[in-house]
Chains A and B, each alone.
Chain A
């Protein structure tokens, strides 16, 4: 009933045949644009997904010759993964890593974007400098970090000299701070991404409301807090969501630096899946784990899309200017 009412409200009251054929043509055009992606998805991703699905329901290891000879085990592998405490810890580590690095990227990216909001001399050079970390290959970031971060290495040395205090954390061997080390590297690596998004968002804010606030007596801080930030909400959400999803999948830096260690301090989901599949050769368990993680991510993505849509709608509503007052809206 509710669905019927909704579609009736959405359909134009009197759709002429011409309008309908026009709408169909538009839909066909949109589909034609999507076609290459759909083809790619169908021919590359779907077979892989199906194969993974097969593996996650059949017990197979590399010691068995033909993979189609593997025994069907039903949902046993899923049960095994979900009751595996190591998997639970890996999930928590991944969430902690993604949350901290996302917030870090956002705070620094937003600060840089705010500094770059107004044009100034030599801005392009700063822009390139701020973008550079993102263009660095993560494995290179990891190896460079390894050379800089050892206990008597240059970073600790410089901080010690500058502060006058003995600053000797073992970034690479202390299990209590290893995950934080990767998180800091992730922030260094991906702050440019948040920076670009926030800069685009900042430059899209209409200047009149800001000027109006200025002449009404608002300080820079109040303008930021009361005018710019509310108008930026959808962009902020986008920057956070995209970064979070990327961070959940971080593998190269973690692996190149720690291989999950020291102990299991940096054993995040991607690392654990990799180890299960390619070190313990439990291909089927790895496949089941991948499926579970994928479902987790799908839920997160759907929630994020829902949120982004709501934000976008409210933003559109804010800016739309009706000629007639909308009664009861």
Chain B
């Protein structure tokens, strides 16, 4: 059982404020992912929860009890590090057993627990090996086992997968998910990878320059990004963001850029005219060959991915405009060919000059 409350948490390193007035509650059994670009304060927040960093201000409560002055070992947490942090001079079994030995668990129980946990993360065949004889993925499994064995109330995971290759990352991501399902413990996971955040989290906390930008379920974050930053950060390929201006033209509200003129749907009727950014996810752009759509653009690049095909268009913007079409039907389009595009009216976003999302009526 662990409900973790962060109250007005601050952390400064000299003149640099790494975490600014952060308040957030992590419910018991929840899988929360802190995500953001490097330097956004997510790891610092995790290290404060773990007890490796003292907050400059604010409180951390675990199940209602303030733990600011508690040593890391007295907080009942488990942590997995980015660099797996195994003890290089102990073999896998001794590494896993370490936490139990520190708690003076009798030898027979230790052996039993180590076996159980090793089975759980499928590393029973590695028990006699040294850490340097394990591959990156195996080492991270050992690190997980070493944490699991002490049965912590909360798992803190600091970018545990970022040093692994793509395939292993997916595999271990599934492993983390499975562990969370079976153990029903609180998981706090830090990553800069939006995909990990989307797939693992019950709730995502998006951070930027020491502050929380948005909190929500993966779907909320994906379909209702609070601002330009979140819109741009989540999704692969990322959201098309077109710089231009909102123009009130008699009865209709239109969005104009140098290459683009689009009638905004009813809900943006109240938008203030002036500079703005229009956002639309690549999968919400429909591609029609021949028929007329909202805009017509020449194709710059075709990327057939098998399940989908990505089309990149030349826009006068510094970034390409991307559309996703299902299957390989569009894979034969020639580069330079002009194609008609229509945007899904309900799924467009508008951001003001500050990057905030323009609320719809």
Contact = CB atoms under 8 A, between A and B. Distances in A.
Contacts of A219: 73, 102
Interface residues of A, number: 28
Interface in B147-166: 147, 150
A251 B50 CA distance: 54
Contacts of A3: none
Nearest to A319: B88
Contacts of B81: 208, 211-212
Contacts of A216: 73, 78, 98-99, 102, 146-147, 150
Interface stretch (A71-79, A187-195, A320-328): A320-328
B291 interface: no
B102 A321 contact: no
B150 to A, nearest CB: 6
Nearest to A212: B85
B77 interface: yes
A222 interface: yes
Contact of A319 (B77, B129, B132): B132
Of A214, A227, A231, A324, chain B has the most CB atoms within 10 Å of the CB of: A214
A314 B312 CA distance: 52
A226 B95 CA distance: 11
A230 interface: yes
Interface stretch (B1-9, B133-141, B202-210, B257-265): B133-141
B153 to A, nearest CB: 12
A326 B50 CA distance: 34
A325 B150 contact: no
Contacts of A215: 50-51, 72-73, 75, 77-79
Contact of B86 (A209, A217, A222): A209
A320 to B, nearest CB: 5
Contacts of B52: 211, 214
Contacts of A323: 135-136
B99 A217 contact: yes
B85 A208 contact: yes
Contacts of B307: none
Nearest to A325: B135
Given A216-B150, A217-B103, A218-B102, A211 B85 contact: yes
Interface of A: 206, 208-209, 211-219, 222, 226-227, 230-231, 317-326, 329
29 contacts: A206-B83, A206-B85, A208-B84, A209-B86, A211-B72, A211-B81, A211-B85, A212-B81, A212-B87, A212-B146, A213-B98, A214-B73, A215-B72, A215-B75, A215-B77, A215-B78, A216-B73, A216-B99, A216-B146, A216-B147, A217-B99, A217-B103, A217-B150, A218-B98, A219-B73, A226-B98, A231-B88, A318-B132, A322-B134
